[in-house]
Amino acid sequence: MKNYKTLLLITLMSGFCLTAQNKDTKKADKQFAQYEFVKAAESYSKLVDNGKADAYVYGQLAESYYNIFNTEAAERWYAKALETSDNPEMVYKYSQMLKANGKYDESNKQMDKFATLRPSDDRATAYRKNPDYLPKILEQGKKFNVQNADFNSEQSDFGGTMSEGKLYITSGRNDSRKTYGWNDQPFLDIYTITKNTDGTYQEATLANNKINTRYHEGLVSFSPDGKTMYFSRESYYEKDFQKDSLSSTKFSQLYLFKATKLGDDWDTIEALAVNSENYSVKNPSVSTDGKTLYFSSNMPEGFGGFDIYKAPINDDGTLGEAENLGQKVNTEGQEMFPYISSNNTLYFSSNGHLGLGGLDVFYTKVIDGKIAPVRNVGIPINSNADDFAFSIDEENDEGFVSSNRTGGKGSDDIYAFKKLQPLCDVLISATVLDDKTREPISGAAVSLFDAEGNKVVSKTTNEEGLAEFIVECEEDSELEVVMDGFDSKKVQVKGSNDEENNVQISLDPIEKLIVDESINLAPIFFEFDESNITAQAAFELDKLVQIMNKYPEMVIEATSHTDNRGTDTYNNGLSDRRAKTTVQYVISKGIDEARITGEGKGETEPKVDCSGGCTKAQHAENRRSEFIIVSPTAE
């Protein structure tokens, strides 16, 4: 799950059944309202021990543990609360806790229940469309090497943004700060860590007191020239907050600020106009061209809790109107921590899209003005814990991700990673059918070629006529299908960003290549002034070999032709060489030489009359070989 320890990470969702508050829960409710979840859990637990618990207390206990990432305790109390409740959001969170604890089958049962209770919810719709999503994520393969960073502390550490040789992180390691009731850790500050030439890091240094205050500071991002830093901070700094009349608790928002580089340090802190006392804005990320700021906000009219937004950065440094990225990115859950990379891939964390548990890292891209499918980055970047604050240098394939997974040094740790394989891939599902019967063809050889014509891999279709291939996103490819008794075929597959590309290939029975007294092959073209057999010519000639093997009495005459560039004598000689090369190829495949002859026709029988001039393509049409059945014609 992803339930963050500070308001910089998430705005707390209230309890499920506030009307159940009473004098017995007053103390625990006040602690809960003040985000003192450790103390609140203790107080609610005492009510359970004293026999004063009900569905409300169980739900609040679950929520308290949910917010401090005690997944086992949260699972236990959600289960107890749901014995007498069908609250959809509670069911959803229960499924997340089960998933975080590795109980995938039980998690799916709760997702089924959630989808029944809220069928129109985007999270339910996505689950119904792809209920077997977990194995697909887990089977993607490890495309990253992930290591816990040496500079983590025993407190919360997250983020990881490089600028001018320094790494900027957010950390609760400053013991001189007051502790925060959410997790009893110090308030968060921004630190810098200098990276050495050997790739190691020096000790973390606290940023100056114009950046850090006694309030929380969060993630940072930089303008392309490195002279402007954007970061999050609690609105207390601006003296903006709301006060609960009953508990006297002060509620802040999260604001975005920018600082200007002055010498080697930061100065001139300014609040951005997008801030509002009515909602939070956080997690800034500046595009590589410096023209757009991406951020997360729970401003009104969004789709869920926090959504991802973008706003233009004007020439004078001000922000234009914020734009919600829409329902392909945002869900009824939480979408946070956007990071826009140098190749304009948008990475973000979400607990609303299908994942491994809580917040997972996802990515998408805008192609031709449209948002490509949102994809899960997969393991080991993602785990069944909270995975967030992903950033990457696309040139050297290195970056950072934060997580509260088990085995770390603190509650949140920063993990350094190296990308090992291309992240975005497409599953090509090729189904081969008999064009006459429409039945699947098993045992067909399907070969994948890359855009340069290199054979990548060959597979054989299964009983369903299916062969599957993984290719990189946006890369063109070609499929070649060969099957005894059928006309071989090549199919171009246009590169795309879709998760799956279903290709149906229909093969004609080999007899359809026999027309009247000739073999209807695609033209056997030759390069200019050349007579050698090309790969394309070999593909077509193999069909001729197949036919001649099926009809062992068949005798073929091959005629070769040239274009009209060159003298008659030269063209006659060239076409004769091409005819002989064609014949020799067929013989090399095991056909008796008595069954095939060849004759060069020069330029005497053009397919296109080029006496008045021709294009290159028309000249190519005249450079060809054709095949006539001498005897006997197949029945």
Q: Is the pLDDT of residue 6 over 50?
A: no
User: What tokens were used for 222?
Assistant: 């930089």
Task: For residues 369 and 68, give the distance between their C-alpha atoms in angstroms, rounded to a whole number.
Answer: 40
Q: Is the pLDDT of residue 184 over 80?
A: no
CA-nearest of 536, 549, 621 to 589 is: 549
Task: For residues 111 and 25, give the distance between their C-alpha atoms in angstroms, rounded to a whole number.
Answer: 30
Q: Is the pLDDT of residue 511 over 90?
A: no
| Least trusted range by pLDDT, from 103-107, 140-144, 595-599 | 140-144
* 8 A C-beta contact, residue 310 and residue 285: no
- Write the pLDDT tens digit of every residue in 427-486: 899 999 999 899 999 999 999 998 888 888 999 999 999 999 888 888 899 999 999 889
| Least trusted range by pLDDT, from 17-31, 343-357, 537-551 | 17-31
Task: For residues 346 and 507, give the distance between their C-alpha atoms in angstroms, rounded to a whole number.
Answer: 41
pLDDT of residue 181: 59
- What phi, psi does 462 have (nearest 5°)? -85, -170
Average pLDDT value for residue range 53-61: 93
pLDDT of residue 139: 66
Cα dihedral: 468, 471, 476, 477 (round 10): -40
pLDDT of residue 626: 82
- What phi, psi does 5 have (nearest 5°)? -80, -10
Task: For residues 288 and 285, give the distance between their C-alpha atoms in angstroms, rounded to a whole number.
Answer: 9
pLDDT of residue 227: 95
pLDDT of residue 2: 36
* 8 A C-beta contact, residue 212 and residue 199: no
Q: What is the 3-state secondary structure (H, E, C) of 285-340?
A: EECCCCCEEEEEECCCCCCCCCEEEEEEECCCCCECCCEECCCCCCCCCCEEEEEE
Question: Rounded mean pLDDT of the chain?
Answer: 87
Residue 245's pLDDT band, with cuts at 50, 70 and 90, is low
Q: Sign of dihedral through CA atoms 468, 469, 475, 479?
A: negative
- Write the pLDDT tens digit of every residue in 324-349: 999 999 999 999 999 999 989 999 99
Residue 175's pLDDT band, with cuts at 50, 70 and 90, is confident
Q: Is the pLDDT of residue 299 over 80?
A: yes
By percentage, how much of the chain surpasses pLDDT 90?
A: 51
pLDDT of residue 510: 83
Residue 133's pLDDT band, with cuts at 50, 70 and 90, is confident
pLDDT of residue 249: 65
CA-nearest of 508, 584, 580 to 543 is: 508
pLDDT of residue 592: 94
